[in-house]
């Protein structure tokens, strides 16, 4: 049992959590969900937010209540969690490859109504295997052609390959050509807004041409998906994508906070995710040691920054698996046992390190949500 | 259920795992355990290996069968898992701070025989709180003075503070002064063997003087602990420590492989831990994409390297949460669905990303072990 359970509902409990603890500011989360839903509504574009960020059934439900079409998943494991929870409209945004996973995919497809589970593909052999296995489903499995979008992580290599793969899918008795995916993951984190807008516009033009090429070959595309938190505002306005799959707007790590704000404008979403640590050693001269290290905070995009619990300037450095070094000017040095909250540099892998969201409203712990798809890599 | 369960015992199953999968080479693990136990035996030094690396009851039991005194734990959560599994001789190697954790510590102490749960401390207020709470135990809680060892992560600041804290512990009716801890974590990863030997020797001299100072004040120390995989050979021979707490020797990530080998000598332990991924996209010109990214491989100490499944030179780059970019010369480019195993740069946080060890003997999956203390941060 989570040792913080007894604190639920007690005023001031937020800063008495057993640490390290992942903290989710519920009102901020709800405002972020509402803002993205409103923006999508204004532009008449659909929203199928990405579960890879939150890995949580509770959060997926909040997004659905705000009008989301369904939920995007990076992995089959995430999709299994979402389907088991009854989430409709599940899209798996990476190709599902190999006999083991294809078998699991079809088993999952047997549990949903037709159209409620969709998958992307980028290779003729994969489509061939999908087509054979999908024959046991009793309905045509919806497949989206995955386009590289300049990232070349997954996706077909060019327009000709996209058209050919679309034809292969269309021509199958067991598959349904549902649409196109073009996710420009590398564009999302460009900090310069003009550069990011320009790159997003270029991709939109490319996708528009690609859709035209596929449709000109007699294959209409119901869904054109992609779009992350970084380019959402440009892409929603461009009218090329029919839906978006952002994830990080929920939480706003500091990398996205910087990318989406400038001197004149704050970011359109606010930070709702924190990692709370405690000061566990105070004997060093220049720093104190906190109990949040590289097993509770992602290391791939930089060091975390202090959000709450400390006055004055400070700098965090990773200090091993379980600890962080917090360098603070002497007048503001915290005491043994003080609780301090950090903003992570990268929300998705940070969430994946934790078992629970500690859901807070102001200074009160109001709920604890398990992170059901944690580690479903 | 782990989808690989059906493969247990089938010849050749190792390279057909549902990926990404953490793979543990059981014979290599057993050889590493036996080698460290033999070295400790030769030098007459005890071994209380560190569970923070493996977080596994099964591995702790193998270490105990090879003569370990017990198990070291970085966190109270790890200690709870080990105590629940019936492991004796549990030492918590970081101070346990704050009312919540101290309450859990005492609850845990109620479940073990006297002496089977020990904790370190580095601050008078923490010792004061421990002394009050330990009164409910019915035995004196063994406490070790934690010394900074040059790392200054946790630990008392100097010899005077060490003696004073030892006196405070000794003077308590509810605590037992059990010994001293001096863990030089920063020395373990020095790649130059001579520099590492020199640094270890310096720390040994410092610890020797510290033990003498505490014992001269009339307080004998039964345990003097510290020592990691990097300095184990020097420290075992030096005769200052009574026991060692290495962890990574079990697995040997590539950072430790390099540190412990040189042109003339291979490392005394062999790599037993791998992450298996699969090629999931092959459309890019210069690389293929595998399904092992920064949610399955630690990023803090560098990129992983290919161990099995690929001929020729290759280079891995992180390619997002779920993917890796594997740059390979054209003649050796792997095919869609090929399985490739990687050696991580840092074993401890990599293990913490996974739910299971896939235990293999040669090319056969022989067992699946849950990582019970995963995420017990």
Q: What is the pLDDT of residues A327-354, one digit of tens each?
A: 998 889 999 999 999 999 999 999 999 9
A interface test, pick of B53, B100, B104 with most A CB neighbours within 10 Å: B100
Tell me: do A236 and A137 sit in the same domain. yes
Mean of pLDDT values over B270-278: 98
In this structure, is residue A186 part of a structural domain?
Answer: yes
Q: Is the pLDDT of residue A14 over 90?
A: yes
In this structure, is residue B261 part of a structural domain?
Answer: no
Q: Give the domain CATH number at A134.
A: 3.20.20.10
Mean of pLDDT values over A213-227: 98
Angle of CA points B87, B88, B94, to nearest 5°: 90
Quote the percentage of chain B above a pLDDT of 90.
96
**Longest distance between any two alpha carbons in chain A, whole Å:** 72
Tell me: do A246 and A277 sit in the same domain. no
Give residue B264's pLDDT band: very low, low, confident or very high (50, 70, 90): confident
Chain B residues within 8 A of A101 when measuring between CB atoms: 18
Residue B10: how many other CB atoms lie within 10 Å: 13
- Number of domains present in the structure of chain A: 2
Tell me: do B241 and B155 sit in the same domain. yes
Q: Is the pLDDT of residue A285 over 90?
A: no
- Structural domain boundaries, residue B210: 26-248
Q: For the ranges A264-268, B92-96, B108-112, which has the lowest average pLDDT?
A: A264-268
Angle of CA points B359, B362, B363, to nearest 5°: 85
A180, A215, A250 - which closes a domain: A250
Query: Are A225 and A243 a contacting pair, CB within 8 Å?
Result: yes
Can you tell me the distance from the alpha carbon of A344 to that of B70, in angstroms, rounded to the nearest whole number?
Answer: 36
To the nearest whole Å, the CA of B42 is away from the closest chain A CA by 31
Q: Is the pLDDT of residue B267 over 90?
A: yes
Tell me: do A352 and A218 sit in the same domain. no
In this structure, is residue B376 part of a structural domain?
Answer: no
- Quickly list DSSP for A285-343: SSEEEES--TTTS--TT---EEEES--S-EEEEE-SSS-EEEEE-GGGPPPTT-EEEEE
Tell me: do A145 and A75 sit in the same domain. yes
DSSP-based three-state secondary structure for B41: helix
Tell me: do A241 and A286 sit in the same domain. no
To the nearest whole Å, the CA of B18 is away from the closest chain A CA by 6
Tell me: do A174 and A278 sit in the same domain. no
Q: Is the pLDDT of residue A219 over 90?
A: yes
Residue A12's alpha-carbon distances to A29, A141, A364, in angstroms, are 20, 50, 5
B interface test, pick of A148, A162, A299, A377 with most B CB neighbours within 10 Å: A377
Query: Are B44 and B244 a contacting pair, CB within 8 Å?
Result: no
Q: Which of B17, B287, B377 sits opposite A322 (nearest CB)?
A: B377
pLDDT for the residue B72: 98
In this structure, is residue A257 part of a structural domain?
Answer: no
Average pLDDT of chain A to the nearest whole number: 97
Tell me: do A235 and A341 sit in the same domain. no
In this structure, is residue B262 part of a structural domain?
Answer: no
Can you tell me the distance from the alpha carbon of A335 to that of A279, in angstroms, rounded to the nearest whole number?
Answer: 7
Q: Which of B295, B349, B355 sits opposite A294 (nearest CB)?
A: B349
pLDDT for the residue B331: 87
Tell me: do B41 and B166 sit in the same domain. yes
Residue B50 is classified by DSSP as B
Tell me: do A363 and A339 sit in the same domain. yes
Q: Is the pLDDT of residue A184 over 90?
A: yes
State the burial class of residue A118 (Cβ atoms within 10 Å of its Cβ: 0-12, 13-18, 19+): buried
Can you tell me the distance from the alpha carbon of B154 to that of B167, in angstroms, rounded to the nearest whole number?
Answer: 19
Quote the percentage of chain A above a pLDDT of 90.
96
Can you tell me the distance from the alpha carbon of B184 to that of B147, in angstroms, rounded to the nearest whole number?
Answer: 10
Mean of pLDDT values over B277-306: 97
In this structure, is residue B258 part of a structural domain?
Answer: no
B248, B279, B299 - which closes a domain: B248
Closest CA to B344 of B293, B279, B268, B310: B293
Nearest residue in chain B measured CA to CA from A318: B300
Tell me: do A321 and A179 sit in the same domain. no
In this structure, is residue B44 part of a structural domain?
Answer: yes
pLDDT for the residue A264: 87
B315 forms beta bridges with B327
A219, A250, A281 - which closes a domain: A250
In this structure, is residue A261 part of a structural domain?
Answer: no
Tell me: do A317 and A332 sit in the same domain. yes
Q: Give the domain CATH number at A323.
A: 2.40.37.20
ipTM higher than 0.90? Answer: yes
């Amino acid at each position: 049992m989570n040792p913080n359970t007894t604190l639920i509902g007690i005023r001031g409990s937020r800063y008495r959590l057993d640490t390290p603890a992942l903290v989710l500011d519920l009102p901020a989360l709800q405002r972020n969900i509402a803002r993205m839903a409103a923006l999508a509504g204004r532009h008449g574009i659909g929203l199928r937010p990405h579960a890879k960020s939150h890995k949580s059934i509770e959060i997926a439900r909040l997004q659905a209540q705000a009008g989301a079409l369904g939920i995007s998943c990076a992995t089959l494991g995430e999709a299994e969690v979402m389907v088991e929870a009854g989430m409709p409209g599940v899209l798996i945004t990476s190709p599902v490859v190999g006999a083991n996973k294809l078998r699991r995919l079809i088993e999952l497809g047997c549990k949903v109504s037709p159209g409620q589970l969709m998958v992307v593909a980028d290779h003729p052999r994969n489509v061939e295997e999908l087509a054979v296995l999908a024959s046991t489903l009793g309905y045509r499995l919806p497949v989206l052609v995955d386009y590289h979008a300049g990232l070349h992580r997954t996706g077909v290599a060019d327009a000709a390959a996209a058209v050919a793969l679309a034809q292969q899918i269309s021509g199958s008795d067991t598959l349904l050509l549902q649409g196109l995916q073009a996710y420009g993951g590398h564009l999302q984190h460009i900090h310069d807004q003009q550069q990011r807008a320009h790159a997003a516009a270029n991709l939109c033009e490319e996708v528009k041409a690609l859709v035209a090429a596929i449709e000109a070959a007699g294959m209409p595309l119901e869904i054109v998906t992609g779009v992350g938190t970084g380019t959402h505002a440009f892409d929603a306005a461009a009218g090329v994508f029919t839906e978006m799959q952002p994830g990080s707007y929920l939480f706003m790590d500091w990398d996205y906070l910087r990318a989406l704000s400038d001197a004149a404008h704050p970011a359109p979403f606010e930070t709702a995710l924190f990692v709370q640590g405690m000061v566990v050693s105070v004997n060093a001269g220049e720093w104190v040691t906190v109990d949040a290290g590289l097993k509770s905070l992602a290391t791939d995009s930089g060091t975390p920054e202090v959000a709450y619990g400390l006055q004055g300037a400070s700098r965090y450095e990773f200090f091993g698996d379980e600890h962080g070094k917090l360098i603070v000017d002497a007048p503001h040095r915290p005491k043994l046992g003080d609780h301090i909250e950090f903003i992570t540099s990268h929300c998705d892998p940070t969430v994946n390190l934790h078992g629970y969201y500690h859901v807070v409203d102001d200074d009160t712990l109001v709920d604890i949500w398990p992170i059901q798809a944690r580690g479903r890599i």
